[in-house]
Amino acid sequence: MAFVDHDLHIHSYLSPCAGEERYAQTLDRILFYAEDNGLGTVCVTDHFWDESVPGSSGMYEEQTYAHISSALPLPQSRNVRFLFGCEAEMDRYNTIAIAPEHYDRFDFIVIPTNHLHMSGFTCRGDEDAAERVRLWCERLDYVLEQDFPFEIIGIAHLTDTGIMAGKGYWDVLNRIPDEEYIRLFRKAADRGAGIELNFAWLNLPEDEMEVHLRPYRIAKEEGCRFYLGSDAHTPGKFGACYNASVMDTVGLPLYGW
Whether residue 16 contacts residue 67, with contact meaning beta carbons closer than 8 Å, is answered with: no
User: Least distance to Zn ion from the beta carbon of 63, Å?
Assistant: 12
User: Least distance to Zn ion from the beta carbon of 223, Å?
Assistant: 25
How would you label 40-76 residue by residue, b for 16+ Cβ within 10 Å and e otherwise? ebbbbbbbbbbbebeebeeebeebebebbbebeebee
Length of the chain (residues):
257
User: Least distance to Zn ion from the beta carbon of 91, Å?
Assistant: 14
Q: Decide whether 8 or 156 has the Cβ nearer to Zn ion.
A: 156
222 DSSP assignment: T
First-to-last alpha carbon distance for the chain, in angstroms, is 18
Q: Decide whether 97 or 222 has the Cβ nearer to Zn ion.
A: 97
13 DSSP assignment: T
Whether residue 98 contacts residue 86, with contact meaning beta carbons closer than 8 Å, is answered with: yes
User: Least distance to Zn ion from the beta carbon of 198, Å?
Assistant: 9
Q: Decide whether 58 or 223 has the Cβ nearer to Zn ion.
A: 58
Sheet holding 108-111, edge to edge: 6-10, 41-48, 81-88, 108-111, 153-155, 194-197, 225-228
Q: Decide whether 156 or 241 has the Cβ nearer to Zn ion.
A: 156
| Residue showing the smallest CB distance to Zn ion in the complex | 112
User: Least distance to Zn ion from the beta carbon of 161, Å?
Assistant: 11
Residues that bind Zn ion (CB under 5 A): 87, 112, 156, 231
Q: Decide whether 154 or 213 has the Cβ nearer to Zn ion.
A: 154
